[in-house]
Chains A and B, each alone.
Chain A
Amino acid sequence: MCLAVPAKVLEIKGATARVEIGGNVREADLSLVEDAKVGDYIMLHAGFAIAKYEPEEALRTLELLKELANGAA
């Protein structure tokens, strides 16, 4: 039920975007996110973008994971 997937914003028209998920193009309503731009990755749930991904944070998580696995953090 709470499944949500990353989708890449291809085009924005008003409050609606065309987004790509694994090669498929769908519509996403952008009214619940404030600053989505073409090229961003949004989290899509029930037809709505509910968040923007921060790829730098994903990198930080990976780095933190490596530190944790080494007992350093």
Chain B
Amino acid sequence: MAPPDTPAPSSPQPNAPEPLNRLSQADPDLVRRLTAEIRDAATAIGRPVRLMEVCGTHTMAIFRAGLRSLIPESVRLLSGPGCPVCVTPMGYVDAAVELSRRPDVTVTTFGDMVRVPGSESSLERERGRGADVRIVYSPLDALRVAQERPDRKVVFLGVGFETTAPASAATLLEARRRGVGNFLLFSAHKVVPPALRALLASEAVALDGFILPGHVSVVLGAAPYEFIPNEYRRAAVITGFEPLDILQAILMLIRQIAEGKPRVEIQYSRVVRPEGNLAARRAMAACFAPCDTEWRGLGRLPGSGLRVCEELGEHDAVRVLDLKVPEGREPVGCRCGEVLRGLIEPEECPLFGARCTTAAPVGACMVSSEGTCAAHFNFRTSEGGR
């Protein structure tokens, strides 16, 4: 099948200001000229270039717009460990399942987590058996449930990176302010930079640069990524989520590589400030302490997790409910770990598309709508395996 020459339009945002709309409705002529520039710049480098998109939302945007087929073959895009649900270890899912079985506990969670299989059940299955598991859109909804049901311990499953952790933090601080003692946070929050460091340090994957996550960077700013060019001499661009954003970032990365001047650039300047969001980081600092935590596929990474700090211990589900997070075992045959490190494409896993599908997922990368396996599965015909 001939590659399409324009990306599919992204979701329309009819109320957004005019320049935002113009970015989301990619002008085909602009896309053509941009991809031609990418081709020329990549040819000038004279060797294949490997770029990793860290964020699952980028993976989805790249597949939805068919960007892999628009760029030259010498520019390989690899998907990384940037889907929070996918990197949450199975032991956490097992602990959440165990929690949901307790008669006095209500589990509240974002929708993505309920279908993730634990070693012997999932939250969805427990809900079918009568457990009180509720999907919320915001941790503030969970706080509301806690206020309405003072007779129950209402646990919010805190899963997500720096984009989401401030929302959990602000909600926890609000719970303390309102004196809602039955609101508890079970934190599996993680921070992104240590995972990038682990990928660079392992050298199992030869990467030339990172398409850095836009919404994580709204909070972090640029400084936490400086080690990428300074210590590892790799290119880095903080990138938005429209097809034009991603194409522009690819061109910026290839030019950094061609010039031999790696640095952290911000393509997504309409929302990312160099200093990030200070108020969000203050909320995180008031609520969390860094800890070592396990990532699916990457193992235990020092300083990569956020646990509820001592001062807010009465809202820490781990402490109040004496939770144990068991060592997780991966499903037999599942290669999510290698997919998350960009070592293999999902199609190389024997379960992919056979025993593991979006309707009946085995591994976490197939469960989450932003998982790499789900993206490959949903778009498998249009991408022709590239």
Contacts and interface: CB of A to CB of B under 8 A. Distances in A.
B295 interface: no
Contact of B13 (A22, A29, A34, A59): A22
Contact of A46 (B33, B139, B368): B139
Interface residues of A, number: 43
B36 to A, nearest CB: 8
B251 interface: yes
Contacts of A61: 19, 23, 240, 245, 248, 267, 269-270
Interface string B51-62: 000011100000
B159 interface: yes
B279 A69 contact: no
Contacts of B182: none
B42 interface: no
Interface stretch (B65-73, B211-219, B225-233, B297-305): B211-219
B170 A2 contact: no
Nearest to A5: B13
A47 B83 CA distance: 20
A3 B251 CA distance: 24
B357 interface: no
Interface residues of B, number: 63
Contacts of A47: 137-141, 167
Given A20-B15, A34-B279, A54-B270, A45 B20 contact: no
B210 interface: no
A50 B160 contact: no
Of the candidates B17, B84, B161, the one having the most CB atoms from chain A within 10 angstroms of its own CB is: B17
B277 A29 contact: no
Chain B interface main SS type? helix
Contacts of B267: 61
A1 B218 contact: no
B17 A53 contact: yes
Contact of A2 (B56, B166, B248): B56
A18 to B, nearest CB: 13
Contacts of A68: 34, 37, 248, 251-252
B22 interface: yes
Nearest to B169: A32
B244 A65 contact: yes
Given A46-B139, A50-B218, A69 B34 contact: yes
A55 B166 CA distance: 24
Interface of A: 1-8, 20-23, 29, 31-34, 41, 43, 45-48, 50-62, 64-66, 68-71
Given A59-B19, A69-B34, 12 more contacts: A1-B161, A4-B218, A6-B15, A29-B138, A45-B164, A46-B164, A46-B167, A50-B167, A50-B277, A50-B280, A55-B17, A57-B269
